Amino acid sequence: MRRDTINYVVVGVFVVFLFTLFLFVLYQITGRTGPTDSYFVTYGNVEGIKYGTPVLYEGYQIGQVESVEPVRESGGTQFRLTLAVRKGWQIPADSIAQVVKSGLLSAVAIDIQEGSSNRPLSPGDSMRGQEAADLFAAVSDVASDIKSLSRDSIRPLLDNLNKQVDLISLDVRSLTSDSIRPILDNQVRELLGKLNDSAERLRVILSEENQQNIRITLDNLESASARADELLANLHETRATLDGLLKDADTVVAGNQEDIRALVKDLKRSLYTVSQHIDAVAHHMEGSARNMQEFTRAVRENPGLLLRGSPQPDTGEHQ
């Protein structure tokens, strides 16, 4: 009997220990590890937030959500959250309480992004909140917008475009069959006729006789080209000879500069003398011309004077 009592006591103590351990673990899970300070934050949507939601400070857990209370205002319904934060924890006044998810299937948490203000919040103050972007809701909204756009805008636009394309196709088919095709047929016939005429003329031009003449012309051009090459070679030789003559003349002039200067001086002196006596020479030449004119007049009147002549009186002496 005494042995059974000992067993019962041991079992009871073990059960009490396990129950105490369970309570301790539950207390740790809820985040209540000691005295806390309360802060407030307001969100328009608290999906996934409830009592016990972790409160993080730059990723480090410092508390949990104590309560979620709806607050009705004129602009709509807002939700006021009470955050139980570890007592004495300094939070800058411009910090932001952001709703975050570490993954698509993970639980929601409130992460306080540390601000840069030197003034800390006092217990009971409210901090600025920032809601998390709901990816599935955004995708749903985008899908709804795309569906509405497709139903109300794109589909009518495509239908109208199809109608316009059909009308344009009918107009183009009608224009092609009634206007463009006859014009093209006539132009093609004219073009083919001109091509046939050109081909006939080309056949006449390229006859055997003309081909022979073309060959002869090409041969003559080749001969002329060869002769032109010879002429160019001769011109090169002539130019070389002229260069030599010019060099010789330059040498002669350079070697006889004094004689040339003397010759130029003599020529200048002779021209000066001639210019001084040019009047007398001109007077005698004029008298000779008058005498020759008188002689020719007398011979024309009496050709016998050339065979027999008689001295003529000098009229100048009588005068």
Does residue 138 have a pLDDT over 80? Answer: no
Residue 92 CB partners (closer than 8 Å, separation 6+): 114, 115, 116, 117, 118, 119, 120, 121
Same domain, 213 and 285: no
Q: Are residues 116 and 58 in the same domain?
A: yes
* SS3 of residue 66 by DSSP: strand
pLDDT, one tens digit per residue, over 45-98 is 888 888 889 999 998 999 999 999 998 887 788 899 999 999 999 999 999 999
78 CB-near residues (< 8 Å, 6+ apart): 42, 43, 44, 70, 71, 72
Percent of the chain with pLDDT over 70: 85
Please check whether residues 231 and 187 belong to one and the same domain.
no
Verify that 44 and 126 share a domain, yes or no: yes
pLDDT in tens, 217-262: 888 888 888 888 888 888 888 888 888 888 887 787 777 778 778 8
The answer to whether position 288 is within a domain reads yes
Selection from 72, 74, 113, 69 nearest residue 91 by Cα: 113
Last residue of a domain, one of 186, 204, 222: 204
DSSP line for 88-130? T---BTT-EEEEEESSSSSPEEEEEE----SSBPPTT-B-EEE
User: Is residue 307 domain-resident?
Assistant: no
CA distance 59 to 208: 102
- Please tell me whether residues 24 and 106 are part of one structural domain: no
Q: Is the pLDDT of residue 304 over 80?
A: no
Judge whether residue 174 has pLDDT over 80.
no
Residues 243 and 261 in one domain: no
Query: What is the CA angle 265-268-270, rounded to 5?
Result: 110
Which residue type sits at 68? V
With respect to residue 19, please indicate whether it lies within any of the assigned structural domains: yes
Q: Indicate if 40 and 128 belong to the same structural domain.
A: yes
pLDDT of residue 319: 41
pLDDT of residue 85: 92
Does the residue 197 lie in any domain? yes
Which range marks the domain in which residue 65 is found?
36-132
Distance CA 30, CA 27 (A): 5
Asked if residue 306 is part of any domain, the answer here is no
Q: Return d(Cα 85, Cα 37) in angstroms, integer.
A: 5
Instruction: Note whether residue 312 is domain-resident.
Output: no
Same domain, 48 and 113: yes
Q: Are residues 47 and 124 in the same domain?
A: yes
Q: Classify residue 22: in a domain, yes or no.
A: yes
Residue 186 lies in a domain: yes
Q: What is the pTM of this model?
A: 0.38
CA distance 108 to 319: 161
Same domain, 109 and 196: no
Alpha-carbon span 64 to 54, nearest angstrom: 4
Specify whether 41 is located in the same domain as 124.
yes
Contact 55, 76 (CB under 8 A): no
Are 50 and 128 within one domain? yes
pLDDT at residue number 251? 80
Distance from C-alpha of 49 to C-alpha of 195, rounded to nearest angstrom: 89
Counting the structural domains of the chain, the total is 5
